[in-house]
Amino acid sequence: MSNFTSLWFLLVFSYFFSNFLFDSIFTYSNASTLFPLQQEGDALIQAGWWVNQNISLRCKWKGITCDASGSIIMIQVRRSLPNGSTLHNLNFSSLPNLKGLYLINSSLQGGIPPEISQLSKLTSLFLGSNDLSGEVPLELGNLTNLLELDLRNNMFTGTIPSTIGRLTNLKTLDLSHNQIGGFIPSQIGNMKSLTGLYLGNNLIIGSIPSAFGNLSNLSNIVMKHNKLIGPLPTTFWSLTRLIWLSLSYNYFNDSVSQKIQKFKGLEILELHENVFSGPILFSVVHLTNLSILNLSSNRFNGTIPVQIDHLEKLNILNVSYNMFSGPIPATLVGLLYSTHSPYYVLNNGITLEIDFSHNFIDGELPRLSLDNHLRPTSINISYNNLVGKISDSFLFFRSVNLSYNKFEGEVCDQILHRFDVSAVLGNQKLCGSIPPLHPCDSQNHGIFKMLMILLPSVFFFVLCFSCFTLVRSRSKKKVTHEIESNKHGNVFCIWDYDGKVAYDDIIEATEDFDIKYCIGTGGYGSVYKASLPNGKVVALKKLHTREAQERTVYKSFQNEVDMLKEIRHRNIIKLYGYCLHKRSMFLIYEYMERGSLFWVLSNDTEAVELDWKKRLIILQRVSHALSYIHHDCITPIIHRDVTTCNILLDSNLEAFLSDFGISRLLDHELSYHTTVGGTCGYIAPELAYSVVISEKCDVYSFGVVALEVIMGKHPGELLTYLWSKSIPRIFIKDLLDSRLKSPLLQIGLTQSILLTLTLAFACLHPNPKARPTMQHLTREFNIRRPYQDELAFNEITIDQLVKQEIYYVHQI
């Protein structure tokens, strides 16, 4: 007991004494040799990376973290260091307690000095994205406490040192994007804790050593773009925890068939551009978690198994440039429908890209039924031996390439116009109205002409019909059209809703739109809450009588109805019906218990309930809904008024996009020239000097909404200087809605917030062309990002996210 007390006393005393002494005599240069903590400060000053700083406050310098005793345990630099900075600048022996060294994107030059092995307590070493060169030193192997080692994106040469095998605690090793050559040392098999191994984009030769089989914790292996050869060792197939396997762009020549089945949890399998062979698909169809399957440019063969529809999470299926043969099984169609829960859709994206091109596939294409909801699908089956006619159902695809097959008969004009004639070239027996296709013979000409007239209307009919059946099948309710003639005069109402609801019921439920039922006022009218006699509660959006007579308002009303009828998305508000009447027009919506996102954010109690996770989910859902209207509707739609007022929340705080009052159907070819709509504070800057509307205006507004959701209030003037030359230094932590608990308390949350903010800032780019598309954003939300770096969060500033130093927004 007394021992402990005196020790404690001694510690406290020596700490204060050293500081006191330092303050009074810090001009004496040799003072530092007396006091180890002082040496730490000296090392930093000598490095020249911090200038004009008070050394006794070093624990508060930007990027420095100390432990309770005042010893430096972490250095994090994410800025450019002075020209010519090298790791030799840092006196490692003065920093005995350092655990984390993060020098990312700091313009470091030179090599890694062997003295780095003096940092014996180091657990995280991040030196990515610098100009480091030379060999990876043997001495790194002395850092046996390392958990993460990141040297990616430098100019390292030489080979992977065999001493790396001593890093038995290492979880992530990233040497990608360097010029490292030589063989993979067999000692790598000792790194039993390894979960992520990233060696891609180097010059590594030889084959994968059989010691790999010991790395039973590996979940991610990325070795693409190297010069690796030969078959995979038999031990490789025991890595049953693999989730991401990328061996593409090498010279592997294994026959892969049964074995791959062992990787049951695989989500990404990239073997493209190798010399792999074997009837791989028969075993791949059992990897039901696959979302990316790229086998392109190998020598795989065999037929496409009927079980292909088991891969229902696939987003990319690329088997092009192989030797697959036989017909495409009818079950493939199963992949094209979206039968998944919205949660699944949100997390994995709903698009599907199929590439079967350059194989020996024959037979006819399976028939598509349009009863179900098609996923947005691109399909390339060019350069095969497919026969039969080209069905009109291809119109429902996002992109199509059927060229260089043996298709015959007539191809309809809609397909030629939508996908260009190049999509069907190289089919000798095909005819159509656009050269170089030869015209269909005159015998059919009459029928052809008739079709020309009929098809558009048939197409339109099918479209409307499928819209309606979809909306209907969802609610399984009857549609009632009625034209009533009663005391209110002529009323035209359409209900897609539970039973029969009369105009009178509405009037009664709202006491003829009495103010006490009004729950909000929007651009064109007011919103009322009505409890109908059947017990249902609905929201009514009623246009004011005066306005109802105005043509523009009437048109806006029509627009909203037209659009909502076509749209079917889980996060877009459901339209139950509408009424047109001389005196009033109104829309009947699903009622949203929690009102608008704006309202929830402005109420302190409700805002707290809307925690970080819920907020991020709301943003993902809204981005998904916008991506849907921009890219997945047959006619793209621009919302034009994306604000927190127009995002409504139901009782589960699920978000719904509403108010299409001023959006317009966007013609594919033309940008819109039209009067400015939208809400101040959300309108994209280009609309100030031009009236060209594109979906990038919605992207901008989404960026504002995302910031607002994270900040808890409208970002205001932040928007004006965000992309200016001199962004003020604002820490991200100071940007966050202060009513919520710090996201640091929850694992992974800070990353999601940083990613969301990075995406939001990209959306707010002043140049519309530089903004990402909504489709692209939804994808970015879902990209697996292997690195965790919670510690730096408090240091990160806005400009780092704007410059995408932490997360990079991939442009398509």
Q: Whole-number minimum distance, CB 14 to ligand NAG, in Å?
A: 17
Which range of residues in 133-141, 212-220, 271-279, 683-691 is near ligand NAG by CB under 6 A? 133-141
Give me the least distance between CB of 94 and ligand NAG, in Å please.
Answer: 4
Q: Is 142 in the site for ligand NAG (CB under 6 A)?
A: yes
Q: How far is the CB of 84 from ligand NAG (least distance, A)?
A: 17
**Residue 633 · residue 463 · CB < 8 Å:** no
Element (H, E) at 507: helix 503-509
Binding of ligand NAG at residue 93 (CB under 6 A)?
Answer: yes
- Cα 352 to Cα 501: distance, rounded to the nearest angstrom: 41
Pick from 234, 229, 243: nearest CA to 212:
234
Which residues lie below 8 Å from residue 743, measured CB to CB, with a gap of 6+? Answer: 612, 736, 749, 750, 753, 793
What single string gives the DSSP state of each residue in 197-220?
EE--SS--EE---GGGGG-TT--E
Residue number, nearest CB to ligand NAG? 265
Nearest-approach distance from CB 332 to ligand NAG, in angstroms: 22
Stretch that binds ligand NAG, among 5-13, 88-96, 406-414, 722-730 (CB under 6 A): 88-96
Rule CB under 6 A: choose which of 53, 71, 86, 91 binds ligand NAG: 91
**Exposed e or buried b for every residue in 157-174, given b needs 16+ CB within 10 A?**
bbbbbebbbbbebbbbbb
- Sequence-distant (≥ 6) Cβ neighbours of residue 621 within 8 angstroms: 346, 571, 654, 655
Cα dihedral 721/726/731/734 (nearest 10): -30
Q: How many whole angstroms separate alpha carbon 224 and alpha carbon 730?
A: 38
Residue closer to ligand NAG (CB basis): 45 or 203? 45
Assess 139 for contact with ligand NAG (CB under 6 A): yes
Stretch binding ligand NAG (CB under 6 A), from 139-147, 277-285, 481-489, 785-793: 139-147
Which of 640, 660, 638, 633 shows the shortest CA–CA distance to 648?
A: 660
How is residue 96 written in tokens? 């005995």
Structure tokens at 211: 């010691």
Per-position x/- string for 144-183, each x denoting binding to ligand NAG as judged by CB under 6 A, each - no binding? -------------------x--------------------
Is residue 51 at the binding interface for ligand NAG, with CB under 6 A as the rule? Answer: no
In this structure, are residues 144 and 166 in contact, taking their beta carbons and an 8 Å threshold? Answer: yes
HEC string for 524-575: CEEEEEEECCCCCEEEEEEECHHHHCCHHHHHHHHHHHHHHHHCCCCCECCE
- The answer to whether 487 is a known ligand-binding residue is no
Residues 55-84: x/- map of binding to ligand NAG (CB under 6 A)? -xx---------------------------
Q: Which is nearer to ligand NAG, 39 or 800 (CB)?
A: 39
- Rank residues 127 and 167 by Cβ distance to ligand NAG and give the closer one: 167
Residue in 63, 70, 265, 342 binding ligand NAG, rule: CB under 6 A = 265
**∠ CA 517-520-521 to the nearest 5 degrees?**
120
Which stretch, 50-58, 121-129, 462-470, 555-563, contacts ligand NAG (CB under 6 A)? Answer: 50-58
| Secondary structure (DSSP) of 266-321 | -SEEE--SS--EE-THHHHTT-TT-SEEE--SSEEEEE--GGGGG-TT-SEEE--S
**Residue 138 found at the interface with ligand NAG (CB under 6 A):** yes
Nearest-approach distance from CB 484 to ligand NAG, in angstroms: 52
Q: Does the active-site annotation cover 641?
A: yes
* Of residues 611-630, those binding ligand NAG (CB under 6 A): none
Cα separation, 132 vs 178, in Å, equals 10
Which amino acid is present at 334? G
- With tokens 């990515």, the residue in question is 128
Judged by CB, which is closer to ligand NAG: 123, or 510? Answer: 123
> Please, which residue, 142 or 297, has the CB nearer to ligand NAG?
142
CB of 124 to ligand NAG, least distance (A): 19
Q: Least separation, in Å, of the C-beta of 350 and ligand NAG?
A: 17
- Assess contact for 658 and 647: CB atoms under 8 A: yes
Rounded to whole angstroms, how far apart are CA atoms 539 and 531?
Answer: 9
Of 6, 14, 24, 54, the one binding ligand NAG by CB under 6 A = 54
Q: Give the shortest CB-187-to-ligand NAG separation in angstroms.
A: 12
Given candidates 261, 289, 378, 385, which one binds ligand NAG under the rule CB under 6 A?
A: 289
Based on CB atoms, which residue is closest to ligand NAG, 57 or 479? 57
Q: Are 130 and 156 in contact (CB under 8 A)?
A: no
Nearest to 212 by CA among 245, 255, 176: 245
Please work out the total of residues on this chain that contact ligand NAG, with binding judged by CB under 6 A: 17
Q: Closest CB to ligand NAG among 54 and 720?
A: 54
As measured in angstroms, the least distance from the Cβ of 86 to ligand NAG is: 13
Evaluate whether 757 touches 699 at the Cβ level (below 8 Å): no
Among the residue ranges 87-95, 378-386, 507-515, 524-532, the one whose residues contact ligand NAG (CB under 6 A): 87-95
Among the listed ranges 136-144, 183-191, 722-730, 799-807, the one in contact with ligand NAG (CB under 6 A) is: 136-144
Please report which residue ranges of 379-444 form alpha helices under DSSP H: 413-419
CB-nearer residue toward ligand NAG: 163 or 380: 163
Q: Which is nearer to ligand NAG, 88 or 398 (CB)?
A: 88
> What minimum distance in Å lies between the beta carbon of 426 and ligand NAG?
40
Q: Is 117 in the site for ligand NAG (CB under 6 A)?
A: yes
Point out the catalytic residue in the list 641, 659, 698, 737: 641
Considering only 49-57, 426-434, 460-468, 504-512, which stretch makes contact with ligand NAG by CB under 6 A? 49-57
Rounded CA-CA distance 393/405 in Å is: 18
**Under a CB-based contact definition with an 8 Å cutoff, are residues 249 and 271 in contact?**
no
Query: Going by C-beta distance under 8 Å and a sequence separation of 6 or more, which residues neighbour residue 133?
Result: 109, 110, 111, 154, 155, 156, 157
94 binds ligand NAG (CB under 6 A): yes
According to CB under 6 A, which residues from 641 to 660 bind ligand NAG?
none
Residues within the annotated binding site for ATP?
541
Output the known binding site. Answer: 541
Q: Which residues bind ligand NAG (CB under 6 A)?
A: 23, 39, 54, 56-57, 91, 93-94, 117, 138-139, 141-142, 163, 264-265, 289
Catalytic site positions: 641
